[in-house]
């Protein structure tokens, strides 16, 4: 697939997977719309991409505030002649046991990871359907395929996103839209530092599994390959984090036994 001059809207572009996708896709000639909450940081990132501000845009938004997004949408969409690819990537994780976790944490995870994805897709999809062309990519997680300790809210939000994308794929296939769901395992980014604890505060420390996870550039290269190959769903991870959904599918009792014994951080 030729990404030259394709307009690609990427959420979570200030860090980790979104930042790396922005760099790799810009290097392949795409024009990037960079989104996250931190406008200053996004502007700095945009200026360092090839072509800088003459080719790329910043659209600061809070995924947990869909009303603001809907209000901003007409002015934002007027800036770009079309959006060829939407990458719903922005999100937050969790490291806390269900019984200890405040209800507000479950709400926050759903608002950012699930409703934020639905809201931005609502903004972008009508233009794609009108043009009968477009790709919607959503970054779920291996946690959207299997459950494990410390992630009851995160997993719920990521399962929700998988179901959303399955429905969207069915509804938009006839309109020429392609929907790709990406389920990464442990990828070395700041996701662990930013993960919410039982009180809903970022835990502010590294986890062993994330620190030893797949390099973010390797992960993003695989995401771009999956876009090019028009895959519907891809699981990207090394070791147990890549194999877990398959183990659970074929050996559910064994998988459930393991996940009750182990605690992955």
Ligand X SMILES: NC(=O)c1ccc[n+]([C@@H]2O[C@H](COP(=O)([O-])OP(=O)(O)OC[C@H]3O[C@@H](n4cnc5c(N)ncnc54)[C@H](OP(=O)(O)O)[C@@H]3O)[C@@H](O)[C@H]2O)c1
Per DSSP (E only), the strands in the chain are 7-11, 31-35, 57-58, 85-88, 134-139, 177-184, 233-236
C-alpha–C-alpha distance, residues 8 and 134, integer Å: 10
Whole-number Cα distances in Å, 68 to 41, 76, 113, 224: 20, 12, 16, 30
Please give the residues from 139 up to 158 whose contact with ligand X meets the rule CB under 6 A. Answer: 139, 141
**264 has catalytic annotation:** no
Q: Give the shortest CB-130-to-ligand X separation in angstroms.
A: 26
CB neighbourhood size of 126 (10 A): 11
Please give the DSSP secondary-structure letter assigned to residue 134: E
C-alpha–C-alpha distance, residues 19 and 174, integer Å: 32
Which single residue brings its beta carbon nearest to ligand X?
16
| Residue 59 interacting with ligand X (CB under 6 A) | no
Q: Give the shortest CB-135-to-ligand X separation in angstroms.
A: 17
User: From residue 2 to residue 31, what is the string marking binding to ligand X with x (rule CB under 6 A)?
Assistant: ---------xx-xxxxx-------------
Taking the least distance from each CB to ligand X, the nearer of 83 and 92 is 92
* Per annotation, catalytic residue among 154, 159, 257, 264: 154
Q: Give the shortest CB-240-to-ligand X separation in angstroms.
A: 13
Taking the least distance from each CB to ligand X, the nearer of 62 and 133 is 62
Taking the least distance from each CB to ligand X, the nearer of 6 and 151 is 151
Is residue 70 within 8 A of residue 121, CB to CB? The reply is no
Please give the residues from 107 up to 126 whose contact with ligand X meets the rule CB under 6 A. Answer: 112
Q: For Cα atoms 248, 254, 259, give the angle at the middle one, nearest 5 degrees.
A: 75
User: From residue 159 to residue 198, what is the string marking binding to ligand X with x (rule CB under 6 A)?
Assistant: -------------------------x-xx-xxx--x----
Beta-carbon contacts of residue 209 (< 8 Å; ≥ 6 apart): 186, 241, 264, 265
| Residue 62 interacting with ligand X (CB under 6 A) | yes
Taking the least distance from each CB to ligand X, the nearer of 18 and 134 is 18
Q: Give the shortest CB-134-to-ligand X separation in angstroms.
A: 20
Is residue 220 within 8 A of residue 24, CB to CB? The reply is yes
| Residue 36 interacting with ligand X (CB under 6 A) | yes
Please give the DSSP secondary-structure letter assigned to residue 10: E
Q: Which of 64, 85, 87, 180 is the binder for ligand X (CB under 6 A)?
A: 64
Please give the residues from 193 up to 212 whose contact with ligand X meets the rule CB under 6 A. Answer: 194, 210
C-alpha–C-alpha distance, residues 106 and 169, integer Å: 26
Q: Return phi, psi of residue 212, to 5°.
A: -100, 20
Catalytic machinery residues: 154
Q: Which residues bind ligand X (CB under 6 A)?
A: 11-12, 14-18, 36-38, 62-64, 89-93, 112, 139, 141, 184, 186-187, 189-191, 194, 210, 213
């Amino acid at each position: 697939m030729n990404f030259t001059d394709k307009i690609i809207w990427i959420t979570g572009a200030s860090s980790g997977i979104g930042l790396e996708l922005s760099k790799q896709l810009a290097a392949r000639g795409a024009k990037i719309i960079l989104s996250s909450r931190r406008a200053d940081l996004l502007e700095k990132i945009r200026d360092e991409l090839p072509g800088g501000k003459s080719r790329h845009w910043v659209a600061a938004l809070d995924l947990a505030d869909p009303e603001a997004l809907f209000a901003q949408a007409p002015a934002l969409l007027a800036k770009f002649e079309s959006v060829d690819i939407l990458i719903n990537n922005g999100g937050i994780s969790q490291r806390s046991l269900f019984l200890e976790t405040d209800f507000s944490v479950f709400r926050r995870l759903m608002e950012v990871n699930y409703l934020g994805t639905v809201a931005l897709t609502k903004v972008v999809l009508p233009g794609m359907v009108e043009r009968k062309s477009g790709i919607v990519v959503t970054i779920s997680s291996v946690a959207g395929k299997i459950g494990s300790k410390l992630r009851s809210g995160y997993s719920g939000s990521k399962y929700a996103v998988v179901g959303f994308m399955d429905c969207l794929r069915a509804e938009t296939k006839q309109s020429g839209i392609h929907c790709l769901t990406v389920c990464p395992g442990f990828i070395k980014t700041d996701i662990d530092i930013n993960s919410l604890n039982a009180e809903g505060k970022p835990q502010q420390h590294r986890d062993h599994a994330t620190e030893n996870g797949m390099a973010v550039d390797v992960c993003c290269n695989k995401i771009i390959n999956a876009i090019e190959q028009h895959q519907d769903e891809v699981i990207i991870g090394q070791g147990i984090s890549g194999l877990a959904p398959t183990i659970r599918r074929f050996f559910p009792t064994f998988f459930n036994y393991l996940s009750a014994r182990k605690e992955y951080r």
